[in-house]
Amino acid sequence: MEKFISNWLVVKHMEMENKWVTKGNFSDLQDWKNPEISSESENSDVFGSFKVEALKKSVEEIHEMILSRERLSRKIHEEGESLKSEIKGYLAENERMQIAPSDPSREKDSLRHKKIEISELQMNEKISCWKDVALLKKELREYERELLEKEERAKAFQKILNGDENGI
């Protein structure tokens, strides 16, 4: 008889809970969150967002480094062209005037050699710039890939958390 009464109490208790849930009181349970789970997920969300923000900042900095390296290369090239045009102008001017009777051909050869050196420096700068930009772009791709992975993980983690919260 005692077992019957305890079973009857359990059944009545379950019936009361079902009535309470079906009458609309379940909405109170939907808003309830386990403080341990929510604080843990908030901490991991904050920690994850710090990583994502750091990666975004790194990506921006690498973009800036690429642009500044390309600007520097253009500036060096322009200055080289300016020097070469000055040398060319000086040589053209000396062709007409023949100021130095000592050895003008030696001076002309020296200036022509300087033009060649400037051209070599410009070519080396183009190659160095290309290498630097290639390395920066490689690093940029790595950071972008890592950023994408972190963002996808965060989205998946949020879906899991939201799915668990909705399932309570």
pLDDT in tens, 35-67: 434 444 444 555 567 888 888 999 999 999 999
What's the rounded mean pLDDT across residues 56-83? 93
- Cα distance from N-terminal residue to C-terminal residue, the chain: 36
User: How confident is the model at residue 60, as a pLDDT?
Assistant: 93
User: How confident is the model at residue 30, as a pLDDT?
Assistant: 43
Do residues 70 and 129 lie in contact, with contact meaning Cβ atoms separated by under 8 Å?
Answer: yes
Percent of the chain with pLDDT over 90: 40
Do residues 140 and 58 lie in contact, with contact meaning Cβ atoms separated by under 8 Å?
Answer: no
Q: What is the distance between the alpha carbons of residues 69 and 126, in angstroms, rounded to a whole number?
A: 11
Which residue, 51, 65, 88, 70, is CA-closest to 128? 70
Instruction: Show me where the domains of the chain are located.
Output: 45-167
Q: Is the pLDDT of residue 3 over 80?
A: no
User: How confident is the model at residue 95, as a pLDDT?
Assistant: 74
Q: Is 98 left (phi over 0), alpha (psi -120 to 50) or beta?
A: left
Q: What is the distance between the alpha carbons of residues 68 and 74, in angstroms, rounded to a whole number?
A: 10
Q: Mark out the alpha helices in the chain (DSSP H runs).
A: 2-20, 26-31, 35-97, 104-167
